[in-house]
């Protein structure tokens, strides 16, 4: 037996190998022991190949399952992707797609103007009297307290006017004059409120009045006659369909001078109070009309 290169052995699993030639050269018989050993060797090789092939198939199947699992996990994670990986906006319902209730456009009515209700006799219909316009027994303006005297009302406008006022009232169709007197510390003031049908008439009456257009003072209820012969201070104004006049002076008949600030402040306070009362009348009627 030698370890050199001899004839190649035949291997059915190897390409190019040659089947051994059996001969009876030299009249010999086959070496059955050698042939049995070769057959055993070949069988071992087959078993190894079958085992290796089965292992490779198992690995291949495991790899396929792993790929399937990874792929499934990938689909599950897609729901957690950032917004830029989500479907386009065309495929995502938007809030505007949801039907919302619609309402017809509405607008609140403009607030009623109180002055409209005291600018014409047609709208200025609430009850009116000297007592309702000048209520109570005294008036407080700031720190000053004025005691209320007599009140009066007449439709004969010229009868309660002095100087040129009677003509002013008559020419502008005055319908009524209400008067009230207040006193404080020897100073008395009479307020005369003349009514007209329209605001335009009241404005014209104010414009037509001059320094001699004076309302007649109203004595009574503890107040002596005043400002009939003495010099007194007078004012004229209007608001809405009302023209209002003041006449302030001393109850002892003394003439008023420019230095008599008490007379001026008393007349101004009563003129301011009269304006507020006329305006409140308009506010009350506007409020009542808004609640109807």
pLDDT along the chain (292 residues), means of 10: 45 48 48 61 57 49 44 42 49 54 62 93 96 96 95 98 97 98 97 98 98 97 94 98 98 96 97 97 94 82
For 60-97, b/e burial (b = at least 16 CB within 10 A) is eeeeeeeeeeeeeeeeeeeeeeeeeeeeeeeeeeeeee
In this predicted structure, what is the pLDDT of residue 102?
Answer: 61
In this predicted structure, what is the pLDDT of residue 292?
Answer: 78
Alpha carbons 19 and 197: distance in angstroms, whole number: 144
Residue 192 lies in a domain: no
| Residue whose C-alpha is closest to residue 285's, from 135, 175, 123 | 123
In this predicted structure, what is the pLDDT of residue 179?
Answer: 98
In this predicted structure, what is the pLDDT of residue 26?
Answer: 46
Range of the domain at 253: 116-140+154-182+197-290
Alpha carbons 229 and 225: distance in angstroms, whole number: 10
Strand residues in the chain grouped as ranges (E)? 138-141, 144-154, 161-163, 176-184, 187-195, 213-215, 233-239, 242-250
Residue 248 lies in a domain: yes
CA distances from 79 to 90, 132, 166, 272 (A): 18, 79, 95, 77
Residue 60 lies in a domain: no
Residue 127 lies in a domain: yes
Residue 20 lies in a domain: no
Token code pair at residue 108: 């609140």
Residues contacting residue 220 through CB under 8 Å, at least 6 positions apart:
149, 150, 181
pLDDT tens digit sequence for 151-181: 999 999 999 999 999 999 999 999 999 999 9
In this predicted structure, what is the pLDDT of residue 259?
Answer: 96
Residue 10 lies in a domain: no
Residue 82 lies in a domain: no
Residue 169 lies in a domain: yes
DSSP labels for 140-166?
A: EETTEEEEEEEEEEES-GGGGEEETHH
In this predicted structure, what is the pLDDT of residue 111?
Answer: 80
CA distances from 61 to 27, 48, 125 (A): 56, 20, 103
**What is the end-to-end Cα distance of the chain in Å, rounded?**
136
Domain count, the chain: 1
Residues contacting residue 194 through CB under 8 Å, at least 6 positions apart:
157, 169, 174, 176, 177, 202, 205, 242, 243, 244, 245
């Amino acid at each position: 037996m030698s370890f050199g290169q001899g004839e190649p052995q035949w291997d059915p699993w190897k390409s190019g190998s040659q089947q051994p030639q059996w001969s009876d050269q030299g009249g010999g018989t086959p070496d059955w022991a050698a042939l049995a050993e070769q057959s055993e060797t070949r069988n071992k090789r087959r078993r190894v190949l079958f085992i290796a092939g089965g292992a490779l198939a198992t690995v291949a199947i495991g790899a396929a399952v792993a790929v399937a699992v990874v792929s499934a996990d990938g689909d599950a994670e897609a729901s957690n992707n950032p917004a830029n990986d989500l479907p386009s906006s065309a495929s995502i319902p938007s809030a505007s797609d949801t039907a919302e209730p619609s309402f017809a456009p509405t607008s609140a009515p403009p607030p009623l103007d109180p002055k409209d209700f005291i600018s014409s006799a047609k709208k200025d219909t609430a009850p009116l009297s000297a007592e309702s316009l000048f209520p109570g027994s005294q008036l407080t303006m700031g720190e000053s307290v004025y005691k209320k005297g007599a009140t009066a009302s007449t439709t004969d406008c010229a009868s309660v006017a002095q100087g040129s006022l009677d003509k002013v009232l008559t020419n502008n169709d005055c319908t009524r004059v209400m008067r009230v007197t207040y006193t404080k510390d020897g100073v008395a003031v009479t307020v005369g409120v003349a009514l007209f049908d329209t605001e335009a008439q009241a404005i014209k009456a104010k414009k037509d009045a001059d320094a001699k257009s004076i309302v007649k003072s109203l004595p009574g209820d503890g107040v002596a006659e005043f400002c009939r012969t003495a010099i007194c201070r007078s004012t004229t104004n209007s608001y809405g369909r009302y023209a209002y006049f003041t006449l302030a002076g001393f109850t002892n008949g003394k003439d008023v001078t420019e230095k008599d600030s008490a007379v001026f402040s008393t007349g101004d306070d009563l003129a301011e109070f009269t304006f507020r009362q006329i305006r409140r009348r308009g506010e009350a009627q506007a409020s009542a009309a808004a609640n109807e």
